[in-house]
Structure 1
Amino acid sequence: MYSLDEVPENGAVAITAHGAGEEIYKEIKRRNLRLIDTTCSIVRRAQETAATMVKDGFFVLLYGEKDHPEVKGILSWTRGKGEATMSSNAAVPSEAKKLAVISQTTKKRELFAEFAQQITGQYASKLEEIRIVDTTCPETGRRYQAARELAHQVEALFVVGSHSSANTRKLAETCRETKIPTYHIDSAYEVNGEWLTGVSRVGVTAGASTPDY
């Protein structure tokens, strides 16, 4: 279900690893629905960071894809005092005096650091304080590094995960940077036998949100 309006009285609501906005939790509590919360602990930390920064008087600039479910959820905790962007040219409201810069958890740490540095250079002389909080997921970074190392040991690489998964797409892009033939697949049924012609070593990796099965 995608709308709480569809949940019957005394029903249950499951929140995915991407998390959800503050208003969702309030509505679940108001209707006394049973909550199954599977929000990733790293995402939860990002949500809490956003809420704390706003409470302390900061405007929150979130490095991430504004239409991504995780990003929408994190932004909700800013109560309108935050913005998501992938551009270092993002405009900060003129009334803002303090700025907090955080990240979508699945973004590459080095790209977030570059973004934060550019934002700092742009606004350091205009604001009272800029606070950088690294909310990227350490496991994502390790997964990227492991995938790169694996790519150099094989002749073809399969990245398993939903085609709508942002972190899986980024993982596939990272693998393609090694110039090793890389195929993003959602299941074994998508494998084309021609991809394996003349290939003796194949690597398989998966996105962070891909089920173990």
Structure 2
Amino acid sequence: MKVRAYKVLEGLILFVVIPLSFMINYSIWLKLGLGVIGFLYVVYVLTVVEKLPLNISKHLNWHLFLKQTLIKFLLIALLTTFFIWFTNKELLFFVVLNKPKLWLMILFIYTVFSVYPQEILYRTFFFYRYETLVKSKIGFVLLNAALFTLGHLFFKNNLVLVLTFIGGLLFAGTYQKTRSTLLVSIEHTIYGCWLFTVGMGNILGFPS
């Protein structure tokens, strides 16, 4: 009972209190510090307390993963291309065509410093620590997606929240099936990098 209560409190602090605090106007350095401390805590719990190896599994179904990801990507690419075309077609592929160096820099920073840490926190850690606390698998995926969306409230953009919730459902579903941080990080990277490429980078807080 004490372990369960501790995990609930831990989850509230990491996934609700800290993200909501980023909505308050205070020092950006303090916010960065809270984020770093929280992430270091997560890594400590995974590697020292839970002793969960963060190595790459040798038994991954790459064929199925790539097939499913390709189908989802094509649908996302089609919908987002039409969205940019009809809302502001001047942004369509603007950065990759006009500022290729900036585009490459954005993709690198996003992949290394955003995607992988997010997947360690919201999928690897979240599933390992809290999955047994929720009986419904669908309910757990919805909870994960909702908290993933909550973590992006600081953008103060409704479209970002919609995209994040959809992404959260996709990533949680992938992790639930594969239990692979690597695969879900690759999927996250593909979709996220496409959004920057197609012309939605400014919406997601990146320069365009």
Normalised to the residue count of structure 2, the TM-score between the two structures is 0.24
Greater strand content? 1
Greater helix content? 2
Larger radius of gyration: 1
The one of the two structures with greater contact order (alpha-carbon pairs below 8 A, sep at least 6) is: 2
